[in-house]
């Protein structure tokens, strides 16, 4: 029986065999070409293969390099990771915060320090402080002692809270005391200012924290002027002074709404003198000028002499114009400069033109201020903190405060201006000094009342005619004036102008009664001294009527030896032992 073939015909089978043979020949030729092009993949000859050392034998050939140490999984992962810019930046920041990273890792005090830093980084501040305190107590001579003490203060600062910040301030102050010349002392003083800066409230609230922050930042700038933290401290001081100026300006604006112009002028003038970098200085100066203009308008309503009224108006108009001119000259790039120009034009005064230097300084100051962002506005709504977004970024903040202008001072100046305007020729009365031991009373009286000088006599006065001190002193002595050279006893010699001598001798005559200044003396008219007080008679000796060895009747015990109970009235008193009668017992009188 004939078997059926896979191919339908003999020709098809031959063609299939030829095709398979061609495929095999093509594969063999491709493999040979690849071997020729890459000879390194060819097997090395047996003669050049180095013999491998067997187990239990040592490698005697020094040219053979030993195998490398196997890396752990973390090391392999770190070796494969390529550090980005942010990673490098964070590593540099960590190196700056902790410059002892990777230094003396095997030392026990360094291990404690690294452990504490790792705990603080994870937020376990109590554990970090415990490790740092252990380091200080166990290794008092460690080179990480200074950094450990500063790290304890930093842990309190990062923990936050009123109690923690108070403790942090104490730790920073101790660090400055122990290490005043260390570079980290400036950092510690800066953190003390930051402690108060974090606790600052809005300008319309208590400003004690802001005042403390200002003092600490000023102290930092004065004690560490060469520190790298000086620019940051200056910026924080500018922000604190921005909040303080906002407070003073808001108080002045409140007084202006109540027409209390002396208080308004005092507050605005304090802002102008103390906080020159205030962001709303133009508005403050315009408000100061408006307050002076309000005073001038009030003067116009008074019924005063025209000359005095004109002089008083000129005083206030000049002060208002000075405030407006200062806005135009020093704050030409500020938003309210046009308001100042309009007010000067309304007063028929020329508008000054600022110099190019003044314009450049104003433009630089206004351009340094930041603009509000959405995050800033949300933060001001949610958190109780001052608005310091528009604080200046350039300029040296003042390190000392000038004398503040007070409302009573402004009021006294108003009175002085009023008096000088109405009485321009009036002499200012000087206070009369009280007579001292070296200044005789007669000289003081003569200087106090120059108009009461005696009239010139007909003939020239002689020494004998000059009244002596005995004339009005009420003294009981006689005074005789003698003239040397006038031995004739004449008391009115015309040519005797020499000096005289006073001879004082006691007198037994009773002085005449005088009333000082027309006032009667206080006391009885009869000044006879009272008789001496008689001595009191001695008290009789005390006699003890109780015989020794006896007791009073009240202390004698009863004869039967039993204590007598005190009487008890059930109708008036009640107790747990003596209860009131109830029911039919009330009828029983016994």
CA distances from 305 to 299, 300, 311, 316, 414 (A): 11, 11, 10, 17, 17
Give 537's pLDDT tier (boundaries 50, 70, 90): confident
Mean pLDDT of the chain: 77
Check pLDDT > 70 for residue 469: no
H/E element holding 587?
Answer: none
User: Residues, the chain, total?
Assistant: 590
Rounded to 5 degrees, what angle do the CA atoms 216, 222, 223 make? 90
Pick from 387, 327, 393, 339: nearest CA to 366: 393
Check pLDDT > 50 for residue 333: yes
Q: What is the pLDDT of residue 109?
A: 87
Pick from 163, 569, 213: nearest CA to 386: 213
SS3 state of residue 215: helix
- Burial-class residue 196 by CB neighbours within 10 Å (0-12, 13-18, 19+): buried
> Which residues sit opposite 478 in a β-bridge?
505
**What are the residues whose beta carbons fall under 8 Å from the beta carbon of 238, sequence distance 6 or more?**
277, 391, 392, 393, 395, 397
Average pLDDT rounded to a whole number, residues 243-257: 95
Q: What is the pLDDT of residue 25?
A: 74
- Look at the block and give the residue holding tokens 């520190």: 227
- Look at the block and give the residue holding tokens 């000059």: 466
Ranking 46-55, 114-123, 258-267, 363-372 by mean pLDDT, the lowest is 46-55
Check pLDDT > 60 for residue 278: yes
Q: How far apart are the first and last CA of the chain?
A: 157
DSSP per-residue letters across 76-100:
HHHHHPPP-HHHHHHHHHHHHH-TT
| CB count in 10 Å sphere of residue 406 | 15
Give 266's pLDDT tier (boundaries 50, 70, 90): very high
Model confidence pLDDT, tens digit, residues 189-218: 999 999 999 999 999 999 999 999 999 999
Q: DSSP assignment, residue 481?
A: E
Give 513's pLDDT tier (boundaries 50, 70, 90): low
pTM of the model: 0.58
Question: Higher pLDDT residue, 509 or 16?
Answer: 16
Average pLDDT rounded to a whole number, residues 322-335: 94
Distance (Å, whole) CA 294 – CA 317:
10
Average pLDDT rounded to a whole number, residues 155-162: 93
What is the CATH number that goes with domain 107-179? Answer: 1.25.40
Phi, psi of 536 (to 5 degrees): -70, 150
Q: What is the pLDDT of residue 9?
A: 74
Average pLDDT rounded to a whole number, residues 492-500: 42
Q: What is the pLDDT of residue 49?
A: 42
Phi, psi of 140 (to 5 degrees): -65, -20
Model confidence pLDDT, tens digit, residues 548-576: 666 666 666 777 777 767 676 666 665 66
Question: Higher pLDDT residue, 104 or 331?
Answer: 331
Q: What is the pLDDT of residue 223?
A: 94
User: What number of H helices and E strands is found in the chain?
Assistant: 18, 2
Q: What percent of the chain has pLDDT over 70?
A: 62
Distance (Å, whole) CA 113 – CA 135:
7
Give 393's pLDDT tier (boundaries 50, 70, 90): very high
Average pLDDT rounded to a whole number, residues 334-352: 94
Give start and end residues of each alpha helix (H) in 301-440: 306-330, 337-346, 356-367, 374-382, 407-422
Q: Do residues 165 and 198 touch, judged by C-beta distance below 8 A?
A: yes
Q: Do residues 98 and 132 touch, judged by C-beta distance below 8 A?
A: no
H/E element holding 280?
Answer: none
Check pLDDT > 80 for residue 334: yes
């Amino acid at each position: 029986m004939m078997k059926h073939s896979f191919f339908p015909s003999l020709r098809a089978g031959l063609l299939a065999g030829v095709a398979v043979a061609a495929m095999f020949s093509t594969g063999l030729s491709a493999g040979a070409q690849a071997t020729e092009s890459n000879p390194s993949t060819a097997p090395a000859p047996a003669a050049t293969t180095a013999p491998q050392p067997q187990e239990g034998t040592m490698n005697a050939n020094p040219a053979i390099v030993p195998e490398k140490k196997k890396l752990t999984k973390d090391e392999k992962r770190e070796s494969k990771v390529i550090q980005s810019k942010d990673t490098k930046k964070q590593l540099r920041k960590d190196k700056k915060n902790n410059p002892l990273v990777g230094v003396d890792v095997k030392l026990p005090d360094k291990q404690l320090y690294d452990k504490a830093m790792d705990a603080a980084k994870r937020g376990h501040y109590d554990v970090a402080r415990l490790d740092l305190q252990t380091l200080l107590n166990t290794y008092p001579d460690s080179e990480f002692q200074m950094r450990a003490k500063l790290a304890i203060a930093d842990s309190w600062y990062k923990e936050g809270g009123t109690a923690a910040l108070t403790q942090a301030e104490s730790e920073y102050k101790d660090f400055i005391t122990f290490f005043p010349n260390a570079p980290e002392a400036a950092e510690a003083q800066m953190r003390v200012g930051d402690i108060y800066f974090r606790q600052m409230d809005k300008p319309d609230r208590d400003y004690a924290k802001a005042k403390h922050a200002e003092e600490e930042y000023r102290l930092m700038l004065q004690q560490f002027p060469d520190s790298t933290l000086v620019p940051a401290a200056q910026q924080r001081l500018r922000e604190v002074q921005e909040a303080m100026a906002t407070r003073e300006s808001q108080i002045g604006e409140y007084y202006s709404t109540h027409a209390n112009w002396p208080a308004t002028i005092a507050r605005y003038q304090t802002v102008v003198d103390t906080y020159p970098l205030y962001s709303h200085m133009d508005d403050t100066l315009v408000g100061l000028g408006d307050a002076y203009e309000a005073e001038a308008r009030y003067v116009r309503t008074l019924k005063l002499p025209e000359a005095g009224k004109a002089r008083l108006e000129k005083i206030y108009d000049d002060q208002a114009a000075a405030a407006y001119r200062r806005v135009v000259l020093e704050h030409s790039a500020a938003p309210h400069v046009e308001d100042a120009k309009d007010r000067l034009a309304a007063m028929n005064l020329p508008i000054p033109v600022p110099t190019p230097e003044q314009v450049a300084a104003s433009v630089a100051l206004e351009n340094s201020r930041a603009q509000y962002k959405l995050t800033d506005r949300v933060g001001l709504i949610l958190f109780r903190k001052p608005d310091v977004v528009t604080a200046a970024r350039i300029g040296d903040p003042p390190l000392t405060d000038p004398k503040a202008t007070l409302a009573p001072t402004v009021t006294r100046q108003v009175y002085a201006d009023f008096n000088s305007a109405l009485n321009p020729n009036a002499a200012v009365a000087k206070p009369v000094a009280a007579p001292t031991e070296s200044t005789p009373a007669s000289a003081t009286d003569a200087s106090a009342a120059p108009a009461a000088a005696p009239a010139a006599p007909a003939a020239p006065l002689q020494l004998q005619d000059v009244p002596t001190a005995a004339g009005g002193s009420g003294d009981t002595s006689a005074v005789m004036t003698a003239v040397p050279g006038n031995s004739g006893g004449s008391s009115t010699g015309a040519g005797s102008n020499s000096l005289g001598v006073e001879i004082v001798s006691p007198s037994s005559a009773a002085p005449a009664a005088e009333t000082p200044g027309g006032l009667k003396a206080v006391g009885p008219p009869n000044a006879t001294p009272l008789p001496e007080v008689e001595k009191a008679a001695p008290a009789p000796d005390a006699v003890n009527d109780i015989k020794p060895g006896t007791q009073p009747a009240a202390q004698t015990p009863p004869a039967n030896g039993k204590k007598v109970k005190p009487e008890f009235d059930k109708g008036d008193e009640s107790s747990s032992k003596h209860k009131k009668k109830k029911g039919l017992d009330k009828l029983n009188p016994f």
